[in-house]
């Protein structure tokens, strides 16, 4: 018997990740760019039209390709904040954490959730390369912030992750960018993940110790040449 047959039968019973996502109200399939989200070079002028930025950090994906609880909570908080600040652009940041790259990134999945909450997709930009907090900061800065003048940033992430995220972004973008942390709702695994935050923050400081805050090009070059320990928490 074909050894793949049970897997096919299982998919018929449980449905694909796309179908399971739709059942939970989370669109998961399709190409992010084709869906109207903007990413990468050539969009800085559009981003510059927004007086404030909301940066939402991914918190992981589940094995079936759906967003982890932290990612869902962060996207929901990002949508709430976007409605409170209607002139702000939203940058969804994150590829995935540990494991193989999913078909849909954290960034695209969060963008889907934010759009489903009623936010105009034209306000949303994707950063879908990063796999840890340093990567979030560096890739957002290099892809989007380096080409525009500083302005307020609202940084959305889990409560346990907020302090490290704000400090990491400040070490990358420099003091000219005002950063305000905004906590999402909690997830069930937050207490366990919080246990490692002090160590991860110290690792971040050591990694960036020979760089200058605001030297985005230099820090991005270091990230490409010598990435940090991939075990860093999201």
Q: Which of 49, 60, 58 is nearest to 91 (CA)?
A: 58
Angstrom distance (rounded) from CA 45 to CA 148 = 8
The span from the CA of 164 to the CA of 157, in Å, is 10
pLDDT band of residue 166 (cuts 50, 70, 90) is very high
Residue pLDDT, tens place only, 188-206: 999 999 999 999 999 999 9
Q: Report pLDDT digits (tens) over 53-78.
A: 999 999 999 888 899 999 999 999 99
**CB distance 26 to 112 below 8 Å:** yes
- Nearest-10 crossing angle of helices 216-225, 162-173: 110
pLDDT in tens, 92-148: 999 876 666 767 899 999 999 999 999 999 999 999 999 899 999 999 999 999 999
Residue 215 · residue 188 · CB < 8 Å? no
> For residue 3, is pLDDT > 50?
no
Give the pLDDT confidence score for residue 109 in this predicted structure.
95
Instruction: State the angle between helix axes of 197-207 and 133-143 in degrees (0 to 180), rounded to the nearest 10.
Output: 50
When the pLDDT of each residue in the chain is averaged and rounded to a whole number, the result is 84
Res 21: pLDDT: 43
Spatial separation of the C-alpha atoms in residues 69 and 173, rounded to whole Å: 28
Are 165 and 183 in contact by the 8 Å Cβ rule? The answer is: no
Domains in the chain: ranges and CATH: 51-225 (3.40.50.620)
């Amino acid at each position: 018997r074909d050894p793949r047959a049970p897997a096919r039968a299982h998919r018929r019973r449980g449905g694909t990740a796309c179908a399971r996502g739709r059942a939970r109200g989370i669109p998961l399939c399709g190409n992010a760019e084709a869906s109207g989200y903007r990413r990468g070079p050539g969009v800085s002028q559009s981003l510059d039209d927004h007086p404030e930025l909301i940066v939402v950090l991914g918190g992981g994906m589940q094995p079936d390709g759906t967003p982890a609880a932290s990612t869902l909570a962060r996207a929901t908080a990002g949508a709430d904040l976007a409605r409170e600040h209607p002139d702000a652009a939203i940058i969804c940041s994150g590829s995935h954490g540990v494991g193989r790259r999913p078909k849909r990134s954290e960034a695209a999945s969060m963008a889907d959730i934010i759009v489903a909450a009623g936010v105009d997709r034209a306000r949303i930009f994707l950063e879908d390369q990063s796999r840890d907090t340093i990567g979030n900061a560096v890739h957002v800065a290099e892809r989007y912030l380096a080409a525009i003048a500083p302005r307020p940033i609202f940084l959305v992430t889990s409560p346990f992750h907020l302090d490290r995220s704000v400090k990491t972004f400040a070490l990358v973008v420099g003091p000219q960018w005002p950063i305000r942390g905004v906590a999402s709702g909690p997830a069930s695994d937050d207490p366990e993940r919080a246990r490692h935050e002090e160590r991860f923050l110290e690792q971040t400081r050591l990694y960036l110790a020979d760089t200058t805050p605001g030297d985005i090009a230099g820090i991005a070059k270091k990230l490409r040449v010598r990435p940090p320990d991939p075990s860093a928490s999201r």
